[in-house]
Structure 1
Amino acid sequence: MAATCCNFTQASSSFKKLHENIQLQSYFTRCHQRSACSVEKDFHRRYGGRLQVERWHQYQHVLCARGVELSPSVNEDVGEESEEDISKETLIWRAIKLPIYSVAFVPLTVGSAAAYLQTGIFSARCYFVLLASSVLVITWLNLSNDVYDFDTGVDKNKKESVVNMVGSRKGIFIAAYSCLALGFLGLTWTAVVERNLRSILFLVCAIICGYIYQCPPFRLSYQGLGEPLCFAAFGPFATCAFYLLHASARVKNHFPLSGTVLSASILVGFTTSLILFCSHFHQVEGDKEVGKMSPLVRLGNKKGAEVVKGAVFMLYALLVAFGLIKALPLTCISLCTLTLPLGNLVVRFVEDNYKDKNKIFMAKYFCVRLHAMFGVALALGLVLARNTKFTSWPILS
C-alpha cells in the first residue's frame, strides 16, 4: 500500500507539471500575435506568484520544440520597454546629474587640504563661496553641453536631456551662461579678497578647457579630445587654483605652488577623466550617427574596457610613485589604498557589462564613487599629515 501511495503521489506530481505545461503552452499560443513585451508583462502578472522568471526560461525551449512561436528579441524588447517606462522623476534625477557635481567638490577639497598642510589655516567662508561658485560653473557645463548636443542631434533620443525635457533651447542657453557669469563672479571676488590674482589665470584656463570641449566652433570633444581637456581643467588648473586661493591672504610670504598639490591634482584629474571616459559606453551608436569621434567610437567597447582596467591600475601606480618620491605623505598613500575595492568594482563592472547598453550606463556612476572616495581620502591624508614631519617641496614660488 505504501508503494502504491508513493506511485500515486509521483503520478499526481507528474500530472500537475503536465497540466502546468499545457496551461503555459495554451497561454503563449493565444498571445504570440502580441508584442514580446506584452507577453512577458502578462506572464509576470499571471504566473509571477507561482513561478519565478528562471523557471519560465526553462520552459522556453520546451515550448519552442512544440511549435510555439516566441520572439527571438524578447529580452531586447523588454530592455526597450523599460527605457520607455522610465518615470518622470527618474528622468529629472538623471537630468540634474547630482552625483556628477562631485567634480566641483573634490578639486576644491583637495586644494584646500593641501593649503592647510602648508599653512595650518582653513577658511570656511572661502571654502563655501568657492564651492557655490564651482557648482554654478559645473551647471553651465552640463546645461551648455545639452544645448550644443541638441544642436548637433546627438541628444535627439536622449530623454534626460534638459533641452528635450523643457522644450526650450533658448531658455536653457540663457540659464547656462547666467550660471557661468555668476560662478566666475564668485571666483573672481574670492581671488580679490584673498589677494591672489595668480589663481585667476588657472581658473580662466580651466573654464577655457570647458568651453573648447563642447562649444562651437571648437567642439574638441567631437574629435576625441574630451578626456585630456577634462584632466587639465579639473586636475592641475582647478585644484591648483583652489590651493592658491584658500587662505593665501593670511600667508605673509609668497604662496608657493608645491610638488604635493601638483601630484594631488594629477590624481584628481585622472579620476575625473575616468568618469567622462566611462560615460561614452552607452552612447557609441548615437555618437557614430552624428560623427562624434569619442574614444569609445574609435576603440570599441571591448578595447575601452581594457583601457579602464589600465587606467585604474595606473591611478594606484601613480599614487605609490608619488609616495616613493615623497611628493605625497604616507597618510595619503594609506588612506587612498583603502579605495582599491572601489577601483576593482569599476574594472569588474565594465568588463562584465560593456556589451550591455542598458547596464553599462551605470559605469560612470561607479566612477563617480571612486572619484569622490579617492578625493576624500586624499584630502584627509593631507590634513592628517599636518601633524607629521612631512614637508612639501616647492615648484614655483
Structure 2
Amino acid sequence: MMNLVSLCHITSGFVPRKSYLFVKPRFRRGDLITRLPVLENLNAKRTRRNLRFVPIFCKSYEDTAKVYQEEEIPKAKLIWRAIKLPIYSVALVPLTVGASAAYLETGLVLVRRYVTLMLSSVLIITWLNLSNDVYDFDTGADKNKKESVVNMVGSRSGTLVAAITSLVLGVSGLVWTSWTASNIRAILLLASAILCGYVYQCPPFRLSYQGLGEPLCFAAFGPFATTAFYLLLGTSSEMRQLPLSTRVLSSSLLVGFTTSLILFCSHFHQVEGDLAVGKFSPLVRLGTEKGAFVVRWAIRLLYSMLLVLGLIKILPVSCTLCFLTLPVGNLVSSYVEKHHKENEKIFMAKYYCVRLHALFGAALSLGLVIAR
C-alpha cells in the first residue's frame, strides 16, 4: 500500500526522464506528493548521478480520498458499512429509555405501541442515512466514498426515492401512534425531532455544513424524541396527560449527549474531505488534536453529570448502573487520543461511541425499571 505524506508545496525538483512514474508537469500548493528527492543545486552532476530515485505519485487534493481507498475492501464489508446497522441504536436507545421512564412513572408496559414506534423510528433513521448519502454526493463530500449507498447502487434518484419512502412510512407510524394515544404534545415533539434531521442535512439549509450538526442531534434524539416516546408509552385510555418529570428530562439529556458524541467522532476521518467541500464541522474548525481533547472532557462530563444527578436524587440510585460502562467510555477517550491522526484507524472511533451509547442507554433504562 502506498505511504502518503502531508500536503506540501514544492517549487523545484529532479525526476528521471525514463521512468514508469506519473508526475504532474507542475506542482501547486495542495498537491499530494510521496517521497520526492529534491536537489537544491541541479548542476551538481555528481550528486545527480549517484541519486537513487524512489517512486513518486502526485495527486491533486480532490483525489486524495481515492488514493487512500485504493486498497481492496471486501464487498461484504462495504455493504455492512453502507447499512450502518450499529447506528440504528440511536433509534432504540431514546425509545427504550423513554419506555423505561414511563414505566417508572405509571407502571404501564405497552408492547404493541413500543414495537410500532420502534419500526417507525428505524424507518426515520433509514431516511436520515439515505438522504445524507444523497446530499453529500451532491456536494462532492462522498464522491470517493465507496460505502456510500449512491456510489454502490449507482443511482442517486433511486436512493432518494427509497429515503423519501422510508420517511413517509416512518412518519405515518408515528402519527398513527400519537393519534391513538390522543397526545398532541408527543407528535409536536416528534415533528421537531424530524425537523432537526431535515435542516441538518437537506437543502437549502444543510446546517451540518455550518458546524451545527451536534446541537441538532442532541435536541432531536434527547429532549425531543426521548420525551415524546415517554409520553406515548406512558399514556393509556384513562390517562391523557402525563407530567414531564425531572427524571425524564435529565434522562433525555444524557441520551442526547451520548448520541451527539457519535456524530462528533464520526468526523475524525473526514476532516480533509469535509474541508475540501466547505463542510465546516466542529472537527474541521478545531482540528483532530483539539477534537481528541474535547472527546476526553466530554466523557468526563457525561459521568460527572450522572454522578451529580444521582447525588441530588433527580435520577434514582439504581441508575448508577451506568457507571459500569465507564471502561467503554475510557476506551473511546484513549482510542481517539491515540489515533486521531490516523484515518485508517480513527474510522473505528464512531463505532466505539455507538457501543458506549448503547450500553449506557441500556444501563440507564435498567436503572429506571429497577427503581419502580
Both proteins in one fold, TM over 0.5: yes
Instruction: Select the residue among 201, 222, 225 that pairs with 1:235.
Output: 222
* Residues 72, 326 of structure 1: alpha-carbon distance in 2 compared, 3 angstrom cutoff: farther
Q: Is the partner of 1:218 in helix, strand or coil?
A: coil
**Do the aligned residues in 1 keep the contact of 2:269 with 2:347 (CA within 8 Å)?**
yes
1:151 CA displacement: 0.7
1:281 paired to 2:252: no
CA distance in 1, matches of 2:81, 2:331: 22
Q: Is the partner of 1:266 in helix, strand or coil?
A: helix
CA distance in 1, matches of 2:77, 2:67: 16
CA distance in 2, matches of 1:198, 1:136: 21
1:105 paired to 2:92: yes
State the match for 1:377 in structure 2: 363
Q: Is the partner of 1:182 in helix, strand or coil?
A: helix
1:178 paired to 2:165: yes
Amino acid across the alignment from 2:330: N
Structure 2 unmatched ranges of 5 or more: 1-18, 22-50, 58-63
* Residues 253, 150 of structure 1: alpha-carbon distance in 2 compared, 3 angstrom cutoff: closer
Instruction: Select the residue among 311, 325, 332 that pairs with 1:339.
Output: 325
Q: Tell me how many residue pairs correspond in the alignment.
A: 319
State the match for 1:162 in structure 2: 149
**Do the aligned residues in 1 keep the contact of 2:183 with 2:240 (CA within 8 Å)?**
no
CA distance in 2, matches of 1:326, 1:34: 71
1:194 CA displacement: 1.6
* Residues 82, 201 of structure 1: alpha-carbon distance in 2 compared, 3 angstrom cutoff: closer
Q: TM-score, normalised by structure 1?
A: 0.77
1:254 CA displacement: 2.3
Matches within 5 A, 1:93-132: 93-132=80-119
Q: Is the partner of 2:236 in helix, strand or coil?
A: helix
**Do the aligned residues in 2 keep the contact of 1:196 with 1:249 (CA within 8 Å)?**
no
**Do the aligned residues in 2 keep the contact of 1:194 with 1:247 (CA within 8 Å)?**
no
CA distance in 2, matches of 1:263, 1:332: 12
State the match for 1:308 in structure 2: 295
1:212 CA displacement: 0.3
* Residues 359, 103 of structure 1: alpha-carbon distance in 2 compared, 3 angstrom cutoff: same
1:294 CA displacement: 0.5
Matches within 5 A, 1:1-397: 83-252=70-239, 254-333=241-320, 335-386=321-372
CA distance in 1, matches of 2:154, 2:202: 20
Q: TM-score, normalised by structure 2?
A: 0.82
CA distance in 1, matches of 2:293, 2:56: 31
CA distance in 2, matches of 1:315, 1:198: 28
* Residues 330, 147 of structure 1: alpha-carbon distance in 2 compared, 3 angstrom cutoff: same
CA distance in 1, matches of 2:228, 2:69: 44
1:211 CA displacement: 0.3
CA distance in 2, matches of 1:327, 1:69: 68
Q: Which one is further off, 188-197 or 226-235? A: 188-197
Taking only the aligned residue pairs, the percentage that are identical comes to: 66
1:324 CA displacement: 1.8
CA distance in 2, matches of 1:212, 1:264: 25
* Residues 251, 260 of structure 1: alpha-carbon distance in 2 compared, 3 angstrom cutoff: farther
Greater fraction helix: 1
Amino acid across the alignment from 1:350: V
CA distance in 2, matches of 1:106, 1:83: 36
Give the RMSD, CA atoms, in angstroms.
Answer: 2.1
**Do the aligned residues in 1 keep the contact of 2:234 with 2:242 (CA within 8 Å)?**
no
CA distance in 1, matches of 2:341, 2:85: 26
Task: Provide Cα deviations, 1:221-270, integer angstroms capped at 9, x if missing partner.
Answer: 00000000000000000000000000402453621111101000000000
* Residues 170, 268 of structure 1: alpha-carbon distance in 2 compared, 3 angstrom cutoff: same
**Do the aligned residues in 2 keep the contact of 1:195 with 1:249 (CA within 8 Å)?**
no
CA distance in 2, matches of 1:195, 1:160: 41
**Do the aligned residues in 2 keep the contact of 1:119 with 1:251 (CA within 8 Å)?**
no
Task: Provide Cα deviations, 1:282-314, integer angstroms capped at 9, x if missing partner.
Answer: 000100110000111000000000000010001
1:321 CA displacement: 1.2
